[in-house]
């Protein structure tokens, strides 16, 4: 079937070429790869002197300014450029783990026709350069077993029911349109907001574990604080999704699972660093949940996207 791949891009490096090459070597090759690039000058610097248009004839590049970028709005705008019955959202720092990524992901999306799966997201694997803490986080959030989640799972799974990641996720266009698409203005979590709306409307969200991408980070404690501040802001601004469903319980499970892993693997010396990391995450999250009580100057220092608060 025809599919499109949509990738927001900002200050890309040569890793973008690796991603595009890997996508075009898939067993299910994209009809069109739509790049939503923020700030034209950075993209022009990367492709200057290359044969980019000839090398990637199925790639469309749309430029926006930094002021125009929004997690939900930019992706929503990109989807309007797609004509395929299914599209895949990705990020520029995710690389397919094999040439079956798109085939397996779309297979998960259409696995159960009657259940009308709205979105299927891929498994994220840590790369070889990541430390044990990031590896443990990826293993906790992206296990080996696939699962289909519906509203019947909310009492059992809590916030995890709505978990979805646009690092790599496939959407049915007909369902996407019916549900109104991505939220127009959000700092973070456009994927989980859509997944929540889909589940509450009676659709399902699929985690497809055999669709795999390499995607991980070695964030500092400061970066973790800023990132989780944005997460908290998003939850504050979308009570229709997050009110009454605790995120803290998942955090506690991650702490317990990682602690056991470090002890079992005789890496207990990593525990102080891990607990500092957890403290930074939680502090950022709590500050973000209460951002509307903080001075605007402090909010803009804590967020990763100060311009968002000027919109």
Q: Identify which of 213, 216, 215 has the alpha carbon closest to the alpha carbon of residue 100.
A: 213
Q: Which residues contact 246 (CB under 8 A, 6 or more apart)?
A: 158, 159
Q: What is the C-alpha separation between 181 and 174, in angstroms, rounded? A: 10
Residue 137: how many CA atoms within 13 Å on its side-chain side?
18
Q: How confident is the model at residue 67 (pLDDT cuts 50, 70, 90)?
A: confident
Q: What is the C-alpha separation between 99 and 265, in angstroms, rounded? A: 32
Maximum distance among all Cα pairs of the chain, rounded to whole angstroms: 56
Using a 10 angstrom Cβ sphere, with 0-12 exposed, 13-18 middle and 19 or more buried, the burial of residue 298 is exposed
Listed ranges 30-34, 254-258, 260-264, 297-301; the one with the highest mean pLDDT: 30-34
| pLDDT for the residue 247 | 65
Residue 168, φ and ψ in degrees, nearest 5: -165, 105
pLDDT tens sequence across 222-232: 999 999 999 88
Q: How confident is the model at residue 252 (pLDDT cuts 50, 70, 90)?
A: confident
Could you tell me the two tokens for 196? 């929540």
pLDDT tens sequence across 90-128: 999 999 999 999 999 999 999 866 668 999 999 999 888
Please check the confidence at residue 254 and state whether its pLDDT lies above 90.
no
Angle, vertex CA 166, rays to CA 160 and CA 168, nearest 5: 105
| pLDDT for the residue 148 | 94
| pLDDT for the residue 54 | 94
Q: Which residues contact 201 (CB under 8 A, 6 or more apart)?
A: 179
| pLDDT for the residue 251 | 77
| pLDDT for the residue 104 | 97
Could you tell me the two tokens for 309? 């608060």
DSSP 8-state class, residue 159? G
Residue scoring higher pLDDT (248 or 286): 286
pLDDT tens sequence across 9-62: 999 999 999 999 999 999 999 999 999 999 999 999 999 989 999 999 999 999
| pLDDT for the residue 112 | 67
| pLDDT for the residue 193 | 93
By residue count, the chain amounts to 311
Pairing of strands 86-90, 3-10: parallel
Q: What is the C-alpha separation between 249 and 154, in angstroms, rounded? A: 13
Kindly list the distances between the CA atom of residue 74 and the CA atoms of 69, 78, 240, 246, 297, in Å, as whole numbers in the listed order. 6, 6, 22, 28, 25
Q: What is the C-alpha separation between 191 and 181, in angstroms, rounded? A: 10
| pLDDT for the residue 84 | 96
| pLDDT for the residue 136 | 83
Q: How confident is the model at residue 311 (pLDDT cuts 50, 70, 90)?
A: low
| pLDDT for the residue 113 | 62
* pTM, two decimal places: 0.91
Quote the radius of gyration of the chain (alpha carbons, Å): 19
The total of other beta-carbon atoms located within 10 Å of residue 258's CB is 23
pLDDT tens sequence across 78-94: 999 999 999 999 999 99
Please check the confidence at residue 216 and state whether its pLDDT lies above 90.
no
Burial 45-68 (b: 16+ CB within 10 A, else e): ebbeeeebeeebeebebebbeeee
| Percent of the chain residues past pLDDT 70, beyond the cut | 97
Could you tell me the two tokens for 167? 């690092």
| pLDDT for the residue 114 | 60
Q: Which residues contact 158 (CB under 8 A, 6 or more apart)?
A: 245, 246, 249, 250
């Amino acid at each position: 079937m025809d599919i499109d791949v949509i990738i927001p891009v900002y200050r890309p490096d040569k890793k973008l070429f690796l991603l595009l090459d890997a996508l075009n070597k898939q067993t299910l090759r994209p009809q069109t790869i739509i790049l939503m690039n923020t700030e034209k000058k950075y993209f022009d610097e990367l492709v200057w002197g290359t044969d980019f248009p000839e090398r990637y004839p199925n790639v469309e590049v749309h430029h926006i300014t930094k002021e125009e970028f929004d997690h939900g709005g930019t992706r929503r705008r990109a989807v309007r450029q797609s004509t395929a019955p299914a599209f895949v959202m990705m990020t520029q720092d995710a690389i397919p783990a094999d040439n079956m990524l798109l085939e397996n992901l779309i297979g998960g999306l259409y696995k159960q026709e009657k259940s009308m799966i709205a979105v299927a997201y891929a498994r994220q694997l840590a790369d070889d350069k990541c430390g044990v803490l990031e590896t443990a986080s990826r293993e906790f959030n992206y296990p080996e077993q696939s699962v289909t989640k519906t509203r019947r799972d909310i009492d059992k799974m809590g916030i995890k029911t709505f978990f979805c990641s646009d690092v790599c996720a496939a959407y049915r266009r007909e369902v996407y349109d019916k549900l109104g698409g991505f939220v127009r203005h959000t700092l973070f979590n456009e994927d989980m907001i859509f997944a929540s709306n889909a589940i509450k409307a009676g659709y399902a969200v699929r985690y497809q574990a055999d669709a795999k991408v390499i995607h991980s980070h070695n964030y500092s404690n400061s970066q973790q604080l800023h990132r989780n501040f944005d997460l908290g802001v998003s939850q504050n601004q979308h009570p229709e999704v997050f009110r009454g469903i605790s995120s803290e319980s998942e955090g506690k499970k991650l702490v317990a699972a990682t602690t056991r892993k470090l002890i079992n693997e005789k890496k207990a010396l990593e525990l102080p660093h891990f607990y500092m990391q957890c403290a930074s995450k939680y502090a950022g999250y709590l500050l973000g949940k209460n951002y509307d009580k903080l001075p605007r100057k402090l909010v803009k220092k804590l967020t990763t996207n100060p311009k968002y608060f000027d919109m």
